[in-house]
Amino acid sequence: MSDSFAVAAVTDTLRAILQGAVGRQVPGAVVTARPPDEVTADRPAAALNVFLYRASVDGSWRNLDPVGTRPGETGRPALPLVLHYVLTPYASGDSQESTAHRILGAAMVALHDHAELGPEEIRRAAPFSDLHLQSEPVRITPVNVSTDDISKLWSAFQSQYRTSVAYEARIVLINSSLPGRAPLPVLSRGDQDRGPEAAASTAGPLPTLTAAVPETVRPGGKLTVTGTRFDGGEVLLRLTHPLLGGLEDRPALEVDATEARFKLPKDLAAGNWSAAVVLTAADGTQQATRALQVGVAPRLAEPLPLTAELGADGSARLEVRCAPPVHPGQRVQLIVGERPLDPEDAFANTTDRLRFRWPDARQGRHRLRLRVDDVESLPAVDAAGRPEFPTDAAVVVA
């Protein structure tokens, strides 16, 4: 999702793409974003005007849950916008219509080749917005406008009709400004936290992966996977991250036919990883199982607990250190009590320092949790092996 500057970011990105295409075909032509009547009054020598004449809400996207919200948590869904543009060429002189048609053709070819606005294109054209971090692409689609609608549009523009084409940009997701609520999770379920057990009675000829324990692990921790046919060759663990890519396959510490244990790298990035088992036979052939999702938990680093001052506007600013560092493109939240907070500044480089602003902060001591790509920091374990919330993972607001 993105911020409220996303509408301007789409317009600026379209202008940048069209300026490059139109400028090559018609030297000296400029791309503007003004109301059509103002462009007509200036009588430009050669120009293409990109005018946002309508913004609508996509009803189907309004029914989706907010990104990153877990069961039991609440939050407002993103505002899903569809932006409607009209592109109009302008020219003056003896060959004005021919020049205008060349401009229009170049613009339509450019948008035909840019059916989606790429993240790098958006970042270069609109560095003031974080639209380039939106997971859903912004697609540019031509729209057929009826003669009746064209007449109504240009009457509303209060300008003489010119040949033009219409496009829509879908979908632009803007974060809600209302805070969500993330209650503390349940640490154990029943006696010794025993869950349902199921046993399979069929086993095929190929290796299978059925479970990974624990589902969330710390960097450098041990991961146990269960399945079948692990005795068919050398057992390796293959880890893949949707943003960071894959790592070198890791050998197992212990292996039997149905279980293998691995030690994870200490510098493994937090977030959701895909874990698959790869078996290498004596002849060098490899067979890989299906992948399971494994969460790698972040950790709030020292010094803890944090201290913060309540500002005159009722807000507090918190700066935390995290381990491992987070990478650009990862979604990070600091949960203060039951209040999720997004970073105050977007980070363009890998960092272990994050700053947050807590509006309507309250004095007192509040528990802290760190969430990276929907994976939360893990609770501590007491001397008896029971999970507990760490006492130092907190902020004291004075």
CATH number at residue 280: 2.60.40.10
Count of domains for the chain: 3
pLDDT given at position 75:
79
Same domain, 248 and 361: no
Give, as one character, the DSSP assignment of residue 74. Answer: B
pLDDT given at position 203:
57
pLDDT given at position 94:
72
Same domain, 264 and 334: no
What phi, psi does 134 have (nearest 5°)?
-65, 130
For residue 183, cis peptide bond before it (omega within 30 degrees of 0): no
Q: What is the dihedral of CA 210, 216, 220, 222, to 10 degrees?
A: -40
Q: Is 28 helix (H, G, I), strand (E, B) or coil?
A: coil
**Final residue of a domain: which of 268, 296, 324?**
296
CA 356 – CA 343 distance, rounded (Å): 5
Reported as a pLDDT band with limits 50, 70 and 90, residue 335 is: very high
- 2-57 confidence digits (pLDDT tens): 788 999 999 999 999 999 999 998 999 999 999 998 988 888 889 999 999 999 99
Half-sphere CA count of 281, side-chain side, radius 13 A: 9
Q: Specify the residue for token string 């990109």.
A: 50
Same domain, 163 and 74: yes
What phi, psi does 144 have (nearest 5°)?
-85, 120
| Residue 128 lies inside a defined structural domain of this protein | yes
pLDDT given at position 196:
60
pLDDT given at position 8:
95
Same domain, 274 and 331: no
Provide the terminal-to-terminal Cα distance of the chain, rounded to the nearest Å: 33
Same domain, 214 and 168: no
| Residue 180 lies inside a defined structural domain of this protein | no
Same domain, 341 and 283: no
pLDDT given at position 198:
57
Residues 6 or more apart whose CB falls under 8 angstroms from that of 7 comprise 52, 55, 81, 83, 172
In Å, what is the CA distance from 393 to each residue of 27, 171, 304, 334, 386?
61, 38, 6, 11, 17
Predicted TM-score of the model (pTM): 0.63
Q: Is the dihedral of CA 113, 115, 118, 121 positive or negative?
A: positive
Reported as a pLDDT band with limits 50, 70 and 90, residue 283 is: confident
pLDDT given at position 232:
84
| Residue 181 lies inside a defined structural domain of this protein | no
What phi, psi does 372 have (nearest 5°)?
-125, 120
Residue 199 has pLDDT above 60, yes or no: no
- The answer to whether 292 touches 260, Cβ cutoff 8 Å, is no
Nearest partner of 119 among 31, 13, 18, 21, judged by Cα: 13
Same domain, 265 and 306: no
Same domain, 12 and 148: yes
Q: Specify the residue for token string 């948590």.
A: 73
| Residue 285 lies inside a defined structural domain of this protein | yes
Nearest partner of 246 among 213, 291, 281, 208, judged by Cα: 291
* 3-state SS, one letter per residue, for 257-305: CCEEEEECCCCCCCEEEEEEEEEECCCCCEEECCCEEEEECCEECCCCC
CATH label of the domain that carries residue 370: 2.60.40
Same domain, 269 and 309: no
Same domain, 52 and 169: yes
Give, as one character, the DSSP assignment of residue 42. Answer: H
- 113-157 confidence digits (pLDDT tens): 989 999 999 999 999 999 998 888 999 999 999 989 999 999 999
- The answer to whether 54 touches 37, Cβ cutoff 8 Å, is no
| Residue 189 lies inside a defined structural domain of this protein | no
pLDDT given at position 191:
72
- Number of residues that make up the chain: 398
**Final residue of a domain: which of 126, 151, 174?**
174
pLDDT given at position 72:
76
pLDDT given at position 181:
83
Same domain, 279 and 333: no
Percent of the chain with pLDDT over 70: 97
Reported as a pLDDT band with limits 50, 70 and 90, residue 321 is: very high
pLDDT given at position 200:
58
- The answer to whether 94 touches 124, Cβ cutoff 8 Å, is no
- Domain containing 288 equals 205-296
**Final residue of a domain: which of 252, 277, 296?**
296
Same domain, 33 and 169: yes
Nearest partner of 300 among 330, 346, 335, 329, judged by Cα: 335
| Residue 194 lies inside a defined structural domain of this protein | no
